[in-house]
Every structure is written in structure tokens, then in C-alpha cells.
Amino acid sequence: MTPLSPPIDPQIPAASNDRRELERGRFTAVWNLVFRGMRRAGIDAKSFYATVGIFLVVGAIIAVAATVAFASLAENVLEGGTQTFDVAILEWLHGHQSKALTAVMVEMTYLGTGTVVIVVVGVAALFLWHTEHKHSARLLLAATIGNILLNGALKLVYHRPRPSVFAWQTTAVSSSFPSGHAMSATVVYGTVAYLLLRLQKHRWAKMLTLTGATLLILLICLTRLYLGVHYPSDVLGGIVVGLAWASFCMATLEASLVLARRRSPREVVEERRAPNELPDV
């Protein structure tokens, strides 16, 4: 007699092909194209090991491209090629300061400080872990720790003095390039937004999350210029290298999930993306 097949748990994806039919969240138009291309390449490869490699390679390519851009910017900074532009922007901002706006900028800049960032990461990581998104929680922690170490190393390498165009409106420590606030905001808030996009179902919610994260990052970067503690090139450098590190971490998460689903699918059921947006009834 043929043994009966065990009941199928509806909460567990039947096959990896089901996941490939789900539309990936839009982090940006570029990310959408990149992940669609990686998914298609994974199908063509007909091997989950190849798919893992594709995610890692593409993530590495993005990271290397951003690193090259950062290196080029850093070279211009060291040679003084950005100094005229940097000073002109800071002088313009100083000429448009007001007491009320300065008070707002001082409060907003704290969103990029180490203490606030650690609290945000801690709360987000605990939520992800509690909801069985342990791979995502690990990614967020790794991205944050890596960001701190990388920013510290880069500041030691370049050791650029802080601006002295006008009196600072807040306190600042360490060297100027790249901006730690800009880098932390890009990595942490960008990664949190990416993880949230993976869990959201509706397109309007995804767009709201993406827009909010982008505006928050840009606002934190602007506060560093307005308050006089960073040059524009410092902020740009922090954004570029932050994107490089965050991109690699995101690609690594996608690759690790492909591998984890093959080895132990029951342990990563909750890590799957939200289903496509359904039409309102």
C-alpha cells in the first residue's frame, strides 16, 4: 500500500517558484530593475547556488561602483578641488539662517547621532526578531555595526579638519570626511526602509515609506551643512559610501534567504515578501 503523503502546511511556500512570481518591493526604480534582473537570471541559471552567487555578485558590483565614486570624490577633496564649492554653499546657508530655523535644525540633527541611531536599530531589530524575521534582524545589526567601524576607519584615513566658515551651531567631534551623520542615516534609515518595504503589501504604503526615508536622510544631511559642522563634500561622501555598504548588505540578505529556504524552508516562512497588492473589493 502506498503511504499517504503528509498534509501540506498552507503557511509554507510549496516551491521557490511561488516566490519568484511575487513582485518585489520597489526600493527605487533602479533597485526594482536590479532585483528583477537577478530573479530572472536565477531562473535561467536553474540552480539556487547560482542564484545566491548572482545576488552576491550584483551586490558587490554596486558596492564597488559606489566605492570607486567615493574614492574619486575623496581624491578631489584631498587635492582641494571641492573647497571653493564647499565654502560657497556654507556661506549661502549661513546668510539664510534664522533663530527659529536653527532651533529646528539642532533638534533634527540628533536623529543622526549615535545614541538615536542605536535606539532605532535596537527597537527595529527586536521587532524583526520577535516576528520571526531573524535574518532581517541580523542584517540590520550587521549593517549598523559595519557602518560604525567603516566610518571610523575612513575618518582616520582622511582626517579632514572641520569647516571654519562660521561658528558652529552644535557640537561636533572627530574629523570631517566622510560625514558620520550622513553615512549613518543612509545605512540605518535606508536599511530599515528596505526591510519595511519587504513586508508591506500596498504600493501606496511602499511609496510613502520610500519617500519618508529619503526625505529624512536628506534632512539630516542638510542639518550638518546648516549648522556649519560639515562641508557638502563630506555629506556627499557619507551618502555614497553608505549606499555602497547598505547595497552589499541588502544583496547579502537576499542571497542568504535563497540559501536558507533551500536548506530549511520552515525556519524562514515569515521572511517571505508580502504578496502582491490586491485590488480593493
Q: Let me know if residue 16 belongs to a domain.
A: no
Assigned domain for 215 exists: yes
pLDDT computed for residue 84 by the predictor: 93
Task: Using 70 as the pLDDT threshold, list the residues of the chain that sit under it.
Answer: 1-56, 59, 260-281
Is 54 in contact with 45 (CB distance < 8 Å)? yes
CB 177, CB 76: distance < 8 Å: no
Q: Is residue 238 part of a domain?
A: yes
- In tens, the pLDDT along 129-166 reads 888 888 888 889 999 999 999 999 999 999 899 998 88
From the CB of residue 70, how many other CB atoms can be counted at a distance below 10 Å? 21
- For 133-165, letters b (16+ CB in 10 Å) and e give bbbbbebbbebbeebbebbeebbeebebebbeb
Q: Is residue 30 domain-resident? A: no
pLDDT digits (tens, 9 = 90+) for 230-254: 999 999 999 999 998 988 888 888 7
Residue 229 lies in a domain: yes
* Residue closest to 272 by CA, chosen among 26, 8, 48, 15: 15
Question: How many whole angstroms separate alpha carbon 158 and alpha carbon 176?
Answer: 9
> What is the domain-level CATH number for residue 211?
1.20.144
Residue 230 annotated in active site? yes
pLDDT for 266 equals 58
**Overall number of domains in the chain:** 1
CA distance linking residue 77 with residue 54, whole number of Å:
34
- Reduced to 3 states (helix: H, G, I; strand: E, B; else coil), residue 153 is helix
Compute CA distances 87 → 84, 91, 97, 181, 230, whole Å: 5, 6, 16, 19, 10
Rounded Cα–Cα distance for residues 92 and 69 (Å): 26
**What per-residue confidence (pLDDT) applies to 43?**
47
Question: 143 CB contacts (<8 Å, ≥6 apart)?
Answer: 187, 188, 191, 245, 246, 249
Q: What is the pLDDT of residue 39?
A: 56
Range of the domain at 193: 47-271
Confirm whether 181 is a catalytic residue.
Answer: yes
Position 125 in a domain: yes
Say what the pLDDT of residue 263 is.
64
**Predicted TM-score of the model (pTM):** 0.74
Of residues 94, 130, 135, 181, which has the active-site annotation? 181
